[in-house]
Amino acid sequence: MTPLLSARSLTKQYGGRNGCRDVSFDLYPGEVLCIVGESGSGKTTLLNTLALRTESDSGALHYTNANGETLDLRTLSEPRRRLLARTEWGFVQQNPRDGLRAGVSAGANIGEPLMAVGARHYGQIRHTAQQWMQRVELDAQRIDELPSAFSGGMQQRLQIARNLVTGPRLVFMDEPTAGLDVSVQARLLDLLRTLTGTLHLSVLIVTHDIGVARLLAHRLMVMQGGTVVESGLTDQVLDDPQHPYTQTLVASVLPV
């Protein structure tokens, strides 16, 4: 099977300090890959580099688009990068307010990406927005309310709908459950697991929460100090961690 996204020796530095260094992996269609590590481990830098929000310093990064064309992402033109971000990719921010437009309604937040890819029939756009609100467990009757009228967990579900409405093939997620109450986290994780399975999405998700990784990911990469110290199948890594840092992470969430 051809990888959807492939990185080789990807490196990004800030003033001589490693954001991420020599990262290599393949992500396959329909696979959820989780990047775990504590704050400052480099996981968010890596995610932003993979999503082309930050320029890498060296290495190789390739993506196979819907037409089967392999794209060299490091040399891709800015217009083609923007097109990719609008059509085949999604990016779910840690803080939903950063991924939503505060001044327009919930329906408009979901509908705008559709308009960006050519949808023009207002009635159909609104209908699709209502369907997606229901799909992410929001009351479709609230379609005309502003994001500020929704709770934090609801805003995150709204942001997810905004990202998935155009049918992307690859979604980047940066700590999507951070800052939410435990009960709200559980509902959101259950929703994400359902959506990734039914939509056959490929997902790169960053988290410091081992529980999130265990529930959602097929495979995971553990980062420390900008480097990947361990990777493999999720159950394999979490049930039998080999690296001391991974052992510490796993032990920190186990009951005493």
pLDDT tens for 24-83 read 999 999 999 999 998 889 999 999 999 999 999 999 999 999 999 999 999 999 999 999
Residue 99's pLDDT is what?
95
Q: Give alpha helix (H) positions in the chain.
A: 43-50, 78-87, 96-99, 106-116, 122-135, 152-164, 182-199, 210-216, 234-239, 244-253
Structure tokens that stand for 185 in this block: 């986290």
- Most confident of the ranges 9-18, 122-131, 209-218: 122-131
Using CA of residue 176, residue 182, residue 188, residue 194, what is the dihedral sign? positive
Q: What's the predicted TM-score (pTM) here?
A: 0.94
Contacts of 236 (CB under 8 A, 6+ apart): none
What mean pLDDT comes out for the span 130-156? 96
Residue 166's pLDDT is what?
94
pLDDT class of 252 with cuts at 50, 70, 90: confident
> Above 60 in pLDDT, residue 162?
yes
What mean pLDDT comes out for the span 176-182? 86
Residue pair 241/247 in contact by the 8 Å Cβ criterion:
yes
- Tell me how crowded residue 37 is: count the other CB atoms within 10 A of its CB: 25
In the chain, what are the domains?
A: 5-88+168-253 (3.40.50.300), 101-167 (no CATH)
pLDDT class of 255 with cuts at 50, 70, 90: very low
pLDDT class of 241 with cuts at 50, 70, 90: very high
DSSP secondary structure code for residue 67 in this structure: T
In tens, the pLDDT along 89-114 reads: 999 999 999 999 999 999 999 999 99
* CB-count exposure of residue 196 (10 Å: 0-12, 13-18, 19+): buried
